Amino acid sequence: MIEFVWPLAWVFLPLPLLTYFLFPRFKYEEPALRVPFLQSFSFRSRSNNKNMKPSIFRATLLGIAWISLVIAAARPQLAGEPISLPVTGRDIMLAVDVSGSMGTEDMELNGTRSTRLSVVKHVIGQFVDRRVGDRLGLILFGTRAYSQTPLTFDRKTVKALLKESPLGIAGGKTAIGDAIGLSVKRLKDRPAENRVLVILTDGVNNVGEVNPLQASRLAAKEGIKIYSVGFGSESMVIPGLLFQRTVNPSAELDSETLIKIAENTGGIFQRAKSASELSSIYEALDKLEPINQDPEIFRPTKELFHLPLAFALLVTAIISILHLRVSAISKKVIIYGQSRTNFSFSRSE
């Protein structure tokens, strides 16, 4: 099915005819140059019918070229059958702590010692790959909270930007309340049944403009469910000169606040002490039942304006070639007529 995106271009179709009838042709009342021997020119002997045929043919070509240009200006498109794209996912905002403490090397990933942030990037990257049909957004927070990506179906971009996020890019401290507040701002315009925030941190809220509990109550008011994840090992061996000592690198983790944040919104708090536990938590989040949204309609289209435009250029080229050919023949005839006249003058003399 062919459709025209700019149908108002058809208004210009009768423009040549209007110009022809509204503006009278200019007529010479007397010749611009008087030639006493004009009757000796051989091209004057051709009949009127022969003179009319080339002009009618040329006018027809010009009309075809003009119609082709108008068709191209109307921008024809070949529209395919409409395709329904059902969307059955959720709107999930991922808030990830990238403060300085996330650089603690108390985790093990694939048999090697790794930082917390490296493990988070690996696990959440796999989570992003599995969330087919979801709109995902990414917020990074430390001293401040930043929106790294808006809600989008482009999971590859979300994963790539998370992977490229350096440690401490948002500051060295932890603003959990600001991260929740920014997430609420990004999610509040989406359907209420589909809004989810998954926030991961390894510390305590020690900076920011918004209190975490107040932010959670605001999220509950907007119908946003929050799943909070506390991450970090509880045991870490630090080598010394004489002996090793064991410390708790997650001593500052405020689990109580994270639990209240989840309870205020109807979500769940999960504690992950290793990479495997963190992976199991995000696998559990995969079991969120999708809620049907309004289907989106996609109709594939193919631009066709270049076809009539190319045809108009072809016809114009043909008209130009014919005009040049007629001009060349006329010059030869004039030269031949002049030579005959000069010959007759020389004979009369």
- In whole angstroms, what separates CA 150 from the centre of its chain? 14
Domain limits, the chain: 2-80+301-341, 85-295
Question: Cβ-count burial of 259 within 10 angstroms (0-12 exposed, 13-18 middle, 19+ buried)?
Answer: middle
User: Taking the mean position of all CA atoms in its chain, how far away is CA 158?
Assistant: 15
**Which residues have C-beta within 8 Å of that of residue 347, sequence separation ≥ 6?**
none
**Which pair of structure tokens corresponds to residue 131?**
């969330």
Torsional sign, CA 27, 30, 33, 39: positive
Rounded-to-integer distance, Cα 49 and Cα 27, Å: 21
Instruction: Write down the CATH number for the domain with range 85-295.
Output: 3.40.50.410
Taking Cα atoms as reference points, which of 195, 193, 275, 185 lies closest to residue 229? Answer: 275
Q: How far apart are CA 220 and CA 15, in angstroms?
A: 64
Residue-wise burial string across 266-305, b where 16 or more C-beta atoms lie within 10 A, e elsewhere: ebbbbbbbbbeebbebbeebeebeeeebeeeeeeeeeebb
Amino acid residing at 97: D
Rounded to 10 deg, the angle between the 48-73 and 15-22 helix axes is: 130
Note down pLDDT in tens along the chain; length 349 residues: 788 889 898 998 888 888 877 776 655 555 555 655 555 444 444 444 444 445 788 888 888 889 999 999 998 888 877 776 656 678 899 999 999 999 999 898 888 989 999 999 999 999 999 988 788 999 999 999 999 999 998 999 999 999 999 999 999 999 999 999 999 999 988 877 778 999 999 999 999 999 999 999 999 999 999 999 999 998 877 776 677 778 888 888 999 999 999 999 999 999 999 999 999 999 988 886 565 556 667 778 888 889 989 998 998 888 888 777 766 665 555 555 555 555 454 444 4
Rounded (5°) CA angle 164-166-167: 150
pTM of the entire predicted model:
0.60
Tokens of 133: 């049909």
Q: Measured in whole angstroms, how far is the alpha carbon of residue 338 from the centre of its chain?
A: 69
Cβ neighbours of residue 50 closer than 8 Å, sequence gap 6 or more: none
